[in-house]
Amino acid sequence: MLSNFDFSVIVSSLPYLFGQGMVFTVTLTAMAAVGGVIIGTLLAMARLSGVPGLTQVAKGYVELCRSLPLVLVIFWFYFLVPYIGAYLTGGSTPIQVGAFPSALITFMAFEAAYFSEIMRAGIQSIPKGQTAAAQALGMNYWQTMGNVVLPQAFRNMLPLLLTQTIVLFQDTSLVYVLSLTDFMGAASKVAQRDGRLVEMYIFAAVVYFAICFSASFLVRRLQRRVAIIR
């Protein structure tokens, strides 16, 4: 029962939980979101480019990522990245990659598939006439994309991109399977060290809930503000 709920174990581990765990989680989320949006936008552009080969490769990658569980992808990259590193640097043995870069590459590559679906919808939401107008003005593909299509696509899709980032924030807890010290990993380490599973896991749930709930509340308010009235 909850009669011997011990708050002191939470209080005494706060510096570790937030100073190390939450910093890791937030850094990973922010960097993976930025990287994921950039790669995702490129994937969406490739998929809509109509270039034979490029379209299929982008589509295949996105569909593959979307049909695999994140846990499996985390394991894939954890073992694959050292080999890719060795290949890129021309070394003969797999290079040692730190846990953080490995997790970062995983989340960037995996979330890029989801961000690319959002950006594809965003690019398609821009009327064809605008692209045609930009081309009539003599802009090339990159100028059209960079000056006309993408700025509007980002604006239209901003709420969805942020919602996906909240999902990403929750998903980063899965680096637990690599025994990394993100917020959940830190909570679980304290829980096992002190035998205080009930306190630590309930506290972790409360913290995640508070952050994600207020973040999605802010996204909903933002959505109302950035909505372009047509």
Partner 1 sequence: MNYNWNWRIFFDASPEGNGTYLDMLLSGLLWTIATALCSWIIAFFLGSLIGVLRTLPSKPANAIGTAYVELFRNIPLLVQMFLWYFVMPEVVPTRIGDAIKQLPDAPFYTAVVCLGFFTASRVAEQVRAGIQALPRGQRMAGTAMGFTTYQTYRYVLLPNAYRIILPPMTSEFLNNLKNTSVALTIGLLELTARARSMQEFSFQVFEAFTAATILYVIINLVVVTAATFLEKALAIPGQR
For partner 1, which is the closer residue by CB, 141 or 209? 209
Q: Could you tell me the smallest distance in angstroms from the CB atom of residue 90 to partner 1?
A: 10
Tokens of 148: 């006309």
Q: Could you tell me the smallest distance in angstroms from the CB atom of residue 98 to partner 1?
A: 19
For partner 1, which is the closer residue by CB, 76 or 100? 76
Please answer whether residues 100 and 32 qualify as being in contact, where contact means their C-beta atoms are separated by less than 8 angstroms.
no
CA distances to 122, 136, 198 from 202, rounded to whole Å, are 38, 60, 6
Site string for partner 1, 7-46 (x = CB under 8 A): ----------------------------------------
Q: Name, in order, each residue with C-beta under 8 angstroms of 16's C-beta and a sequence gap of 6 or more.
A: 186, 190
Give the one residue of 71, 133, 222, 226 binding partner 1; rule: CB under 8 A.
Answer: 71
Q: Name, in order, each residue with C-beta under 8 angstroms of 134's C-beta and a sequence gap of 6 or more.
A: 143, 144, 147, 148, 149
Give the one residue of 14, 57, 68, 222 binding partner 1; rule: CB under 8 A.
Answer: 68
Site string for partner 1, 193-212 (x = CB under 8 A): ----xx--xx-xx--xx--x
* CA atoms within 13 Å, Cβ hemisphere of 33: 20
Q: Could you tell me the smallest distance in angstroms from the CB atom of residue 205 to partner 1?
A: 5
